Amino acid sequence: MTANAQRNLQLAQQLLDWNRRNLRHDVALTPALIAERFAPRFTVFANGRSYAADHGNDQRFLEGFKATIASIDYRIHETGADDAGVVLAMRATVRRVHGATDLFDAMLLLRFDEAGQVALWHEVDVRSESEVVGAAV
């Protein structure tokens, strides 16, 4: 694996850690907090929708997204990294403040700019009701 591919894989792990800490109902997001991981302008493709994002409109989206989340975690099944970015096949477990747990199987393609911030977030996910057997952590 090249140094850039290794860097991209490390940045993806840092992003998932950022999500675990910040995508919860009890965290106040700010543009400065979002700027820790996201470029000033980036592109989002999510389940057939796409939009140009910036810290302001992403903050509004994320505030709604995380409003009922008590915790979010990821189990990575497969990774692919090269000089251009990272692809993660994963299971996301979202625990809600009212006690429910939602499971999502997702493919996430991430590309980062020179500063190590997300320039592209391309995700396809489906809700799942079953546990994945033999998955790596």
CA distance 82 to 62: 28
Model confidence at 136, pLDDT cuts 50, 70, 90, reads very low
**What confidence score (pLDDT) does residue 62 get?**
94
Question: Span 96-118, mean pLDDT?
Answer: 97
At residue 114, does pLDDT exceed 90? yes
Model confidence at 129, pLDDT cuts 50, 70, 90, reads confident
Q: What is the mean pLDDT of the chain?
A: 93
CA distance 70 to 50: 27
**What confidence score (pLDDT) does residue 137 get?**
38
Question: Span 34-41, mean pLDDT?
Answer: 97
The answer to whether the beta carbons of residues 52 and 58 sit under 8 Å apart is no
CA distance 63 to 27: 9
At residue 41, does pLDDT exceed 90? yes
